[in-house]
Amino acid sequence: MLTLDKFEEASEIVKKATQETKLIYSKYFSEQTGNKVYLKPENMQTTGAYKVRGAYYKISTLSEEERQKGLITASAGNHAQGVAYAAKEFGAKAVIVMPTTTPLIKVNRTKSYGAEVVLYGDVYDEACAYALELAEKEGYTFIHPFDDPAVATGQGTIAMEIIKELPLVDYILVPIGGGGLATGVSTLAKMLNPNIRVIGVEPAGAACMKASLQAGEVVTLPNVNTIADGTAVKTPGKNVFPYLQKNLDDIITIEDDDLIVAFLDMVENHKMIVENSGLLTVAALKYLDVKDKKVVSILSGGNMDVITMSSVVQLGLIQRDRIFTVSVLLPDKAGELVRVATVIANEQGNVIKLDHNQFVSTNRNAAVELKITLEAFGTDHKERIVNALKEHGYNPKVIRPNL
């Protein structure tokens, strides 16, 4: 299935269901990395992710009889919406099995396309096993989220668009969960230009593809633990694995903390919401040891619920020292709070929370504790504030903020 003819066919077919996602040049990331960095914003698709490409193309290859029997899949969310949307376009029934941990926004949006949603299991692998049971029982056609050459061909249309728009691209960074997107992108990229280097990016807490490539065969991780829920996969695809062995140049793994900072960077510098799995390629930019190259980061999706978004922003501000908390001890007498506030104000610190504890010591005259949560411009500004407090006779201790 993964032939140039099929990729060209898929590129025309998926246009019926996709938005045009032209490359965005990133001045910010280019300056940070010393490369020319472009973003492929698949988070701007109608369904909020690239998955609609593979789902729509796969369903287009089915017979009318197969479509009328009904379609079923398992997904953490983005493939679910892709299948639901594509099934609606073809007038077919869709049943989607989603892990119970799937963000509510993805569940509701999947339902909004007319699909029947079944919540089952804690991770994708458990949901997939149940979906396969239902497919056999009810006679549904199973649409695999990644381990299907037709689905991978549909996803590979991204590479076709990248190379048409940026023919001299040097590196393409692609997120990896089960491997469907990376298979399509790397296979087509190598067909069109063998010199293009395609780098897969996985969360460190779910690096099933890296483990499999090192072992020379598909392996299953004992567990996965990552905030990148769209790529939280224990076992990569067996059917697509040989293509990745041949066409993927390297894999970079990313810690969750890097994703948190990447989210903040995207919001502040590009005014875009990108989900944690889609941020893998952004976080990987600083680990790509090259200069003066044309690099494309595929932003695979933007479906993030507001509660998760809020916590990620808070954690990102804390990691960047834009929010921090100091604890100081001071005598319990009039004017002490004003003195501390004046020191902070003189350094342009912005107090956002105070916690005054009179019971930290049995001798209140000797000491009461004041915890001050502050907003700062970054690490240098934070250090100036802490040093100013020291110079005025306080002994500030930086502690973990409790927002």
Q: How many helices (H) and strands (E) does the chain have?
A: 17, 14
Q: Is the separation of the CB atoms in 143 and 59 below 8 Å?
A: yes
Exposed / middle / buried, residue 248 (Cβ in 10 Å: 0-12, 13-18, 19+): buried
Terminal CA-to-CA distance of the chain, rounded, Å? 52
Q: What tokens does 60 get?
A: 């287009």
Q: How far apart are CA 22 and CA 40, in angstroms?
A: 7
Longest CA–CA span in the chain (Å) reads: 83
Residue showing tokens 């140039």 = 4
* 3-state SS assignment for residue 225: coil
Q: What tokens does 173 get?
A: 């960074």
Q: Could you write out the DSSP letters of every residue in 183-202? A: HHHHHHHHHH-TT-EEEEEE
Q: What tokens does 348 get?
A: 């342009």
Please list, in sequence order, all residues whose beta carbon lies within 8 angstroms of the beta carbon of residue 182, skipping any fewer than 6 positions away. Answer: 174, 175, 176, 198, 200, 209, 244, 248
Q: How far apart are CA 278 and CA 78, in angstroms?
A: 11
3-state secondary structure 46-91: CCCECHHHHHHHHHHCCCHHHHHHCEEEECCCHHHHHHHHHHHHHC
Q: Is the separation of the CB atoms in 305 and 77 below 8 Å?
A: no
Q: Is the separation of the CB atoms in 98 and 110 below 8 Å?
A: yes
How many of the other CB atoms lie within 10 Å of CB of 239?
Answer: 18
Known catalytic residues? Answer: 51, 300
Q: How far apart are CA 121 and CA 28, in angstroms?
A: 40
